[in-house]
Amino acid sequence: MPFLSSRKSNRQNERKLPSLVFRAGVLGGVAVLLFAMLIFRIWFLQVISGDDYIAMAENNRIRQIREEAPRGIIYDRNMNPLVENRAGLAVTVFPAELEDPEMELTELGQAIGMPVEQIKQQLALHQEDTYRSVIIKKNITPEQKSYLIELMPLYFPGVDIKKFPLREYPEGSDAAHLLGHVGEIDEDELKEPQYADYSLGDEIGKDGVEYQFDRYLRGTDGSLEVEVDADGRPKRELRSIQSQPGNNVVLTVDSELQKATEDALANGIDLAHSSGYLSANGGAAVVMSPEDGEIFAMASFPSFDPKLWVGGMSDSDYQSLNAEGANDPLLNRAIAGQYPPASTFKVITAIAGLEEGIISPLNSFTCNGVWDVLSQPFKCWGTHGDVDLKRAITVSCDIYFYNVGYRFYQADNLGIQRWAQMFGLGKVTGLDLPGEAVGRVPDPAWKQSFGQTEIDRMWMPGDSVNLSIGQGDILVTPLQLATAYAAVANGGRVVTPHVGLRVEDQITGVELADLEPADFTQLDVSLESLRAVQEGLKAAAAVGGTVGDLFADFSPQVAGKTGTAQVAGKSDYAWYVAYAPADDPQVVVAVLIEQGGGGGKVAAPVAHRILESYFNMPQPLRPGVDGAASAGNGGD
């Protein structure tokens, strides 16, 4: 039955055929679907997302380089540069091109002398700027530059060197406190309203003139887009926005007088040492115009080298400046140091007494060396017999002013405090520099607030007596005293001290802003009271006065007052405040030497040197001016 068997086999094959066709159709459908998906994906990548990928590719070969604008130049009043710019070099890192960040940054840190953790912190601050170079270190040495240039192509991909404007100080450390320094803005500063348009990496003024006039000195940064090859080498410049330099600031300071003031102050420290006051280690001097408050010079000792901040301060330098034995060289003692004014304050007591009717110029008191009206005796530095106001200022008689202070207490009159505040003590002067201290003029309300015990909170007769000679709880700054004496010299006008003169365009030199304040306060004080005090100040610098031996032959005539402040646990602090010419004042000088001893023996010779420089008139040498053993007639 072969035929039957063959037909059976054919029928079975016919039944399998539809199944095979179905399977082939399914497989074909799947293949078509996969092919369609592939085509769609290619279309999506090329058409829909093509621009995005092109942009990513472009970014991978484009570097955005920031072009920092140079800051404005700071000039003295005679257009001598005090702070200018020089071309420096900075190391930058382009994070996107780091192949082995850990290894490369470690080796980079070793090459430039910078801890790798510090480099990582710097990069972390700019982690959102993936395609922007980040400055890691400024002011690298020529040796570091040569080393990096040689090895960058092989070992430091993403590392580059670029020019960076750095601050330069032609006068060295002169006026360091006044000028201040610059540094990178930090995250806390970025939160302040005045820095709303700043960003991380920007350099700002951190202190002094650099801080105060940052808005003028700061330029507008530019930018540069550069195409680089696979090795990070520049191929061509794509786009450039030129930076705009900051504007120049002209100050009231005279650089020659500033140097003379710095030298005189250092000489005063040496003079104190030679006089046996070996603890003398600080001081300040202010030289200003009594007419309008222009600061001609301002010095603080000890000082510092502002170049330490150029390119970033090292940890060792920072520790040295803040070491315990360094005596706080960063403190501007001229405006932030607070001290008892001692006998320099007697002019305020005298004017208060005259204006409040407590005394008259002809009132006399007897000085026998000790004032024993209260249970505790108060001593005078000498025995002066009967003294009126002029004589009391001339020889700095303490007992005369003890009596004045006691009369204020008996009359329940706070006139000394009121007149001290009117002359600018116990509040900021309005100086256009940061960091000015307020000082303190104590009164019953202050003592009630700060006293520790019931007795401490009581205003006692001794408080008024101490205040009358500038002792006790009163504190002033050298600038405040200079401002007060300016008002005595100019007829009762309390001027606003200032260092800013004008702003000029760095390119054209055109004046853009006048920085001189126009305001002053005219005190309601009689000319008779002022003249009585002025006559005493002139006599104090003449034969028979506390510094007659030093200034008797000085031309022009000087009017001034010494002060020797007692500070608990320390040697006496030396003061001298003066103005000249006595009858037509052009300049006021205030000098303080910490732990320097007597004002007439140490501080007055410093003022003598400063006035010599101001008037450009070498004066006959006097005892003490060149380090002789004594100066002045004694007293405080």
Same domain for 173 and 286, yes or no, is no
Contact 219, 245 (CB under 8 A): yes
Check residue 612 and give its pLDDT. 97
Domain annotation covers residue 110: yes
pLDDT at 25 over 80: no
Same domain for 447 and 576, yes or no, is yes
* Per-residue H/E/C for 539-568: HHCCCCCCCHHHHCCCCCCCEEEEEEECCC
Domain annotation covers residue 599: yes
Long-range CB contacts (within 8 A, 24+) of 517-524? 517/293, 517/430, 517/432, 520/293, 520/493, 520/494, 520/495, 520/496, 521/422, 521/493, 521/494, 522/492, 522/493, 522/494, 523/422, 523/423, 523/487, 523/492, 523/493, 523/494, 524/492
**Which pLDDT band holds residue 360 (cuts at 50, 70, 90)?**
very high
Same domain for 550 and 440, yes or no, is yes
CATH number for position 485: 3.40.710.10
Same domain for 232 and 260, yes or no, is no
Same domain for 243 and 388, yes or no, is no
Same domain for 234 and 381, yes or no, is no
Same domain for 236 and 276, yes or no, is no
Check residue 170 and give its pLDDT. 96
Check residue 504 and give its pLDDT. 98
Helix, strand, coil tally for the chain in percent (to 5) = 40, 20, 40
This prediction's pTM:
0.85
Q: What are phi and psi of 41, to 5 degrees?
A: -65, -45
Domain annotation covers residue 26: no
Contact 613, 587 (CB under 8 A): no
Neighbours of 197 (CB within 10 A): 6
Q: Which domain holds residue 152?
A: 62-177+218-251
Same domain for 472 and 370, yes or no, is yes
Same domain for 376 and 244, yes or no, is no
- Cα–Cα–Cα angle for 475, 295, 514, nearest 5°? 125
CA–CA dist 195, 201 (Å, integer): 12
**Average pLDDT score over residue span 3-16:** 47
Q: How far is CA 78 from CA 125, 254, 501, in A?
A: 42, 7, 11
Contact 483, 498 (CB under 8 A): no
Q: Name the token pair of 116.
A: 């790798």
Residue range 157-188, pLDDT digits in tens: 788 888 889 999 999 999 999 999 999 898 89
Q: Name the token pair of 117.
A: 């953790």
CATH number for position 226: 3.90.1310.10
Domain annotation covers residue 478: yes
Domain annotation covers residue 189: no
Q: Is 131 helix (H, G, I), strand (E, B) or coil?
A: coil
Domain annotation covers residue 353: yes
Q: How far is CA 305 from CA 43, 318, 321, 330, in A?
A: 66, 12, 10, 10
Residue range 115-145, pLDDT digits in tens: 989 888 888 877 766 567 788 888 888 888 8
pLDDT at 48 over 70: no
Contact 487, 451 (CB under 8 A): no
Is 181 buried (19+), middle (13-18) or exposed (0-12) by CB count in 10 A? buried
Tell me how many domains the chain contains.
Answer: 2
pLDDT at 627 over 70: no
Check residue 4 and give its pLDDT. 38
CA–CA dist 8, 477 (Å, integer): 125
Q: Radius of gyration of the chain from Cα atoms?
A: 38
Residue range 185-199, pLDDT digits in tens: 988 998 999 898 888
For residue 522, is it left (φ>0), alpha (ψ between -120 and 50) or beta?
beta
Going by C-beta distance under 8 Å and a sequence separation of 6 or more, which residues neighbour residue 516? Answer: 292, 294, 498, 500, 501, 502
**Which pLDDT band holds residue 528 (cuts at 50, 70, 90)?**
very high
Q: What are phi and psi of 18, to 5 degrees?
A: -60, -35
Residue range 404-452, pLDDT digits in tens: 999 999 999 999 999 999 999 999 999 999 999 999 999 999 999 998 8
pLDDT at 53 over 60: no
Same domain for 226 and 284, yes or no, is no
Alpha helices (runs of H) in 252-332, residue ranges in sequence order: 255-274, 315-321
* Per-residue H/E/C for 225-247: EEEECCCCCEEEEEEEECCECCC
Check residue 315 and give its pLDDT. 83
What sign does the CA torsion over 70, 334, 599, 390 have? positive
Same domain for 530 and 409, yes or no, is yes
Same domain for 398 and 443, yes or no, is yes
Q: Name the token pair of 279.
A: 């603890």
- Cis omega (within 30 of 0) on the bond before 81? no
Q: What are phi and psi of 126, to 5 degrees?
A: -120, 25
**Which pLDDT band holds residue 632 (cuts at 50, 70, 90)?**
very low
Domain annotation covers residue 537: yes
Domain annotation covers residue 397: yes
**Average pLDDT score over residue span 580-603:** 98
